[in-house]
Structure 1
Amino acid sequence: MERGARTLKAVVIHHDLSARGGGEKVCVTVLELLHEMGFDISLVTISPPKIEEIKKAFGKDVSFVKEVHKLLPFRLRMFGIYQRMFTLIPSLRVEGDICLVTHGDVYPYLTSKIPTISYCYFPVVALIQKMYPSKYQHGFWRAYFEPYRMTVGLLMGFAMKRNVVVTISKFSYNAIKELFGVDSIIIPPPVDVETFSKAFSREKEEDLIISLGRYAPEKKHEYAIYVLSKLPKNVRLKVIGTLAPTAVTYYNYLKRYAEKLGVADRVELVHDIPLNELLDIMSRAKVLFHGYRGEHFGLAVAEAMAAGLIPVVWDYGGQSEFTPKEYQFHTLEEAPKAVMKALEASPSEREKVHKIAWNFSEEKFKKRFAFLIRSVLKMAK
């Protein structure tokens, strides 16, 4: 993208592209969009990006990013929320025409003297409030979180009023508005609908439920096991997610819990499977059960819908904004009934949820974000 005879430079700030989560998916898609729009790109990060790992995880080649400003020469695998804050340091060395922050927090970067768009998935400082379920509300994690809350709470309050704030759902919009009194722009995150549509089928034969998400206590995979224990014995469950060394204790707990409820023979815990294997499972499964209450958006939910799975989710959180109301539940005791209804869903219902997922395609995300970038640059002239 040019202004006069000069190519414009975009500064993209993201702490760790090796994490392979939803935020990294957003960052890689934004990098690709900026490249397509003709920007020169400067990436500010904590750890150096590994191009081949990114390509393997997201199917995107970001080798066009030639200018990288990093804080460390190696990947730091801990202190994730603090890493975001530390991106303030390498950002001091960077100049550009527009800044895009994709790690999820909103800080007053010195690059804020140029137009800055911050993609805030959810205001992290809100996670100590009881209405937003989080590990940061108790014990060790509460103590770990407190310095961050005190520092970032002040920084975000200032930065929110200087940046153009984008968020992913009405649920997150309301939290930002309540905490900071700022209106944000809702742009749902990009979903690889084309890939997951390969698993779509109107007719699914197996009474199979999946629970999809990394192995972590906050994902509440045990709720899926509990629900299974209330269903007929022909129904099976596969729990699918990435397994970090720190999550092995939780993984083993799920095994013991399935044994305790007498459903171990109907539960399979799988981890770190390749995409083609996940698509094969999705092509056979009928239902996605999502146990995380208060999800900010629900990327896994949208991916499963693209594959034609009926989503059974809580009626609280971002995922409740785009899933059919008849498959939502208010208490865990209501969930088995919702799952049974989903297992009996007609082919037309699968077609319906599949079509909903296309609202979140990468193409639509890029169109919305490109329009925003051009609008922000135009206002800054």
Structure 2
Amino acid sequence: MARIAVAHTDLTAKGGGEGVCMNVLEALQDDHDVTLLTLTDPDLRELNDYFRTDVRDVRVRTPPLVESFLDWLDDPRYNLRNALLNRFVARERDRFDLAVGTDNELGVAGPLVQYVHTPRFARLVVSKRVGEDGFVDHAYDRFSWLVGGFDPDRVRESTVLANSGWIADVFQDAYGARPEVVHPPVDTRGFAERDRPFDEREPGFVTVGRLARYKNVLENVEIVDRVRDRGHDVHLHLVGPGYDDEYTREVERAAAERDYVRVEGEVSREELVDIVTTHRYGLHGKRHEHFGMAVAELVAGGTVPFVPDNGGQREIVGSDRLTYSTTDEAVERIDRVLSDPEEARELRRGTAEIERRYGRERFHREIREIADRELS
């Protein structure tokens, strides 16, 4: 039984990265002595309920004063969190036989496995795949890199796992090393049991994810507005927790002005499955999506989801007819599919395919195999 440290900045965010961390803990806990290194003290019982995991008997270590410091900053940007985590893991590293990072780059002594959702410091090499960024962004990245004491050689020489082929390309641009692609664990439970024929579903859209500006939720509302202007009687459910208070209020105001937009907020798993399996379409607004856990769940739940034409989400939907580059193009693509019910049925996939390619058991098995390989 090896001593393994699993490192993640903050599990309370409850996003796809946090789901990966909880599943890594679950995959390793029976065979190894596992400790979670994190910046904020998590409620593992609440997280187990949220992610439907069974993490138990895992020790948690947090650095002194850091959580108070982050609270004082009010809204620290993510790269600073990663920098503080890297310093903490480097200080604790000698206690463990293996370190596993689940929140992007770590630059500590090996053996080291790190799961990269998106390289936090890719802007240092101006990767075209992550968009155009200005001087302030680069300066902030450089500051965080120095504060964290990152060693690029240690990043490159570790075992790096990427959540999609697209992110593997981004990482290779940044570090000159090719990661192994290990798709994240998509929870498909409940979808097959609640599946229903396409014609028996409501002709509406479901958006799943945080109510965050970078998720382009208000753009999704605009798309539905314009699809309705084309004569389609559709509606929109926004499912997910608030993230930015100001933006959440903007979304809620937009919904209050429309009787066809409803903010569901954070819901239980049963409620999520019920909403997804009773609707025909999905709509995802985040551009340069690292993988797209929500997109995979929408596919598993039998919807036909429309997504931006970039990032790992393209690999999930598998058709150019479901991708768009602009709001205008989104409206055109959606109008075309909604006007042809037979095409919509043809574009549907199912739970079995998502489970085979992205399921949890597959993820747990791959993580255990990689950990055993590193420890041998």
Query: What one-letter code is carried by the residue in structure 1 that aligns with 2:214?
Result: E
1:126-275 pair list within 5 angstroms: 126=122, 129=126, 131-132=128-129, 137=133, 145=141, 147-149=143-145, 151=147, 155=150, 157-203=152-198, 204-231=200-227, 232-244=231-243, 247-255=244-252, 264-275=258-269
User: SS where residue 13 of structure 2 aligns?
Assistant: coil
Separation (CA, whole Å) in 2 of partners of 1:198 and 1:151: 49
User: SS where residue 9 of structure 2 aligns?
Assistant: coil
| Corresponding residue for residue 334 of structure 2 | 339
Preserved CA contact (<8 Å) 1:295 1:318: yes
CA RMSD in angstroms, aligned pairs only: 2.8
**Offset from partner CA, 1:318-344 (integer Å, 9 cap, x none):** 101121312112332111232234443
Q: CA deviation at 1:267?
A: 1.6
| Corresponding residue for residue 354 of structure 1 | 351
Separation (CA, whole Å) in 1 of partners of 2:242 and 2:116: 26
1:71 aligns with 2:26: no
Separation (CA, whole Å) in 2 of partners of 1:296 and 1:151: 25
Change (3 A) 1:251 1:46: closer
Preserved CA contact (<8 Å) 2:8 2:103: yes
Q: CA deviation at 1:72?
A: 3.5
| Corresponding residue for residue 26 of structure 1 | 20
Separation (CA, whole Å) in 2 of partners of 1:324 and 1:353: 13
User: SS where residue 297 of structure 2 aligns?
Assistant: helix
User: SS where residue 322 of structure 1 aligns?
Assistant: helix
| Corresponding residue for residue 106 of structure 1 | 106
User: SS where residue 171 of structure 2 aligns?
Assistant: helix
Separation (CA, whole Å) in 1 of partners of 2:35 and 2:150: 23
1:53 aligns with 2:46: yes
Change (3 A) 1:149 1:356: farther
Q: CA deviation at 1:255?
A: 4.9
Preserved CA contact (<8 Å) 1:47 1:70: yes
Q: CA deviation at 1:130?
A: 7.9
User: SS where residue 265 of structure 1 aligns?
Assistant: coil
Separation (CA, whole Å) in 1 of partners of 2:42 and 2:168: 30
Match of 2:119 among 115, 120, 123: 123
1:12 aligns with 2:11: no
**Offset from partner CA, 1:173-204 (integer Å, 9 cap, x none):** 11111111011110011011124444432324
Q: CA deviation at 1:296?
A: 0.7
User: SS where residue 42 of structure 2 aligns?
Assistant: coil
Preserved CA contact (<8 Å) 2:127 2:174: no
Change (3 A) 1:156 1:301: farther
Quick one: percent identity of the two aligned structures? Answer: 24
Preserved CA contact (<8 Å) 2:114 2:159: yes
Separation (CA, whole Å) in 2 of partners of 1:184 and 1:151: 25
Preserved CA contact (<8 Å) 2:7 2:38: yes
| Corresponding residue for residue 374 of structure 1 | 372
- Normalising by structure 2, we get a TM-score of 0.85
Query: What one-letter code is carried by the residue in structure 2 that aligns with 1:105?
Result: E
Change (3 A) 1:144 1:264: farther
Query: What one-letter code is carried by the residue in structure 2 that aligns with 1:367?
Result: R
Separation (CA, whole Å) in 2 of partners of 1:313 and 1:156: 36
User: SS where residue 230 of structure 1 aligns?
Assistant: helix
Query: What one-letter code is carried by the residue in structure 2 that aligns with 1:362?
Result: R
Query: What one-letter code is carried by the residue in structure 1 that aligns with 2:233?
Result: N
| Corresponding residue for residue 79 of structure 2 | 81
Gaps of 5+ in 2: none
Larger relative contact order, structure 1 or 2 (CA cutoff 8 Å, min sep 6):
2
User: SS where residue 160 of structure 1 aligns?
Assistant: helix
Query: What one-letter code is carried by the residue in structure 2 that aligns with 1:235?
Result: V
Change (3 A) 1:198 1:243: farther
**Offset from partner CA, 1:268-327 (integer Å, 9 cap, x none):** 222122222222211211111111111010010001111011111122111011213121
Query: What one-letter code is carried by the residue in structure 1 that aligns with 2:60?
Result: V
Separation (CA, whole Å) in 2 of partners of 1:372 and 1:151: 30
Separation (CA, whole Å) in 2 of partners of 1:225 and 1:369: 38
Query: What one-letter code is carried by the residue in structure 1 that aligns with 2:354?
Result: A
Separation (CA, whole Å) in 1 of partners of 2:137 and 2:175: 24
Match of 1:328 among 301, 314, 323: 323
User: SS where residue 207 of structure 2 aligns?
Assistant: strand
Separation (CA, whole Å) in 2 of partners of 1:258 and 1:35: 43
Q: CA deviation at 1:89?
A: 4.1
Preserved CA contact (<8 Å) 1:48 1:70: yes
